[in-house]
Amino acid sequence: MSDHPQVRPAATVLLLRSGEAPVEILLLRRSSSSRFAADAWVFPGGVVDESDRRLPSGLWEGIDPATLTERFAADEATVLGFHVTAVRETFEEAGVLLARPLQAGAGADGGRRRAELEHDPERRRLRAALAAGRIDLARWLTERRILLDLGCLTYHSRWVTPVAQPRRYDTCFFVARAPAGQVVAHDRAETTGQRWLPVAAALREHEGGRLQLMHPTVRTLQALAVHDSVDAVITAAATQAQVRSVLPSAELDADGRVVRIVDPDEVH
């Protein structure tokens, strides 16, 4: 049997907005007690739950998993799971729900239900209950008459944790425009801080030692930095001929600690 830890499917979301800079990105600070990436600033995301892979079709819209299996190199259930996890974790960790009220039109009732979705006073309690498994996502969506908007996610990149790491993930990175009317609020449990930063500023702060970022986060920000608008980021991601799965390697010191992460195409 292999000594390497199991690689778990995961998803993360690059939540973007136009603010003081043409492209600003949301970063959350992980708790210092986290077993993975403690104190690092990350994008909202997490591990795919089995229930994410089986969410009934009447509770989400925007994608056809059967047509995406080749692009994601995964079966239909896993494709669905990547998308549902991305939306669920963004809600649990950042308080932003990529969804719409079921059958909410442009009239007064539709506007009222959208306002309720955006400003639910019980939102933090609901997020905590979902994260802890005290509330079933499918049941909650059904009772609240909410549809997850999986079509707002655009597949951007994919990173696999190096073999040397004790916890390994196969993570799909999605880009999404931050929905108007919703306010970001970190969960105060897994995440202990939040910042909207221009992409270039985030990279400068990291280079100056003021912002702890993981290797895939840095590489992702570098890829975003060439674009001058949120639309350009989303278009570039959507028009990629293929999304390459990147498996870096880890260089270790004599004590087995990681001292450097090396991308597979990096020149030595």
Residue 108 has pLDDT above 60, yes or no: no
- Angle subtended by helix axes 137-144 and 123-132, to nearest 10: 150
Residue 2 lies in a domain: no
Q: Which of 131-135, 146-150, 165-169, 250-254 shows the lowest mean pLDDT across its residues?
A: 250-254
Q: What is the mean pLDDT of residues 163-167?
A: 79
Q: Give the pLDDT of residue 44.
A: 96
Residue 188 lies in a domain: yes
Q: Which of 106-115, 134-143, 183-192 has the highest mean pLDDT?
A: 134-143
Residue 64 lies in a domain: yes
Arithmetic mean of pLDDT over the chain = 88
Q: Which residues of 81-112 are buried (b: 16+ CB within 10 A; e: fewer)?
A: bbbbbbbbbbbbbbbbbbbbbeebeeeeeeee
Q: Give the pLDDT of residue 116.
A: 54
Residue 27 lies in a domain: yes
Residue 267 lies in a domain: no
Q: Could you tell me the CATH number of the domain that includes residue 202? A: 3.90.79.10
Q: pLDDT grade, residue 109 (50/70/90)?
A: low
The residue ranking higher by pLDDT, 192 or 176, is: 176
What residues does 42 pair with on adjacent strands?
A: 28
Q: What is the mean pLDDT of residues 5-11?
A: 92
Residue 93 lies in a domain: yes
Q: Give the pLDDT of residue 257.
A: 67
Residue 7 has pLDDT above 90, yes or no: yes
> What is the tens place of the pLDDT at every residue in 11-51?
999 999 998 899 999 999 998 877 777 889 999 999 999 99
Residue 133 lies in a domain: yes
Q: Give the pLDDT of residue 179.
A: 94
Q: Which domain holds residue 252?
A: 7-262
Q: What is the mean pLDDT of residues 71-89?
A: 97
CA distances from 23 to 29, 78, 197, 208 (A): 20, 30, 8, 21
Residue 252 has pLDDT above 70, yes or no: no
Work out how many domains the chain is built from and give that number: 1
Q: Give the pLDDT of residue 56.
A: 97
Q: What is the mean pLDDT of residues 174-188?
A: 91
Q: Give the pLDDT of residue 90.
A: 96
Residue 147 lies in a domain: yes
Q: Give the pLDDT of residue 123.
A: 74
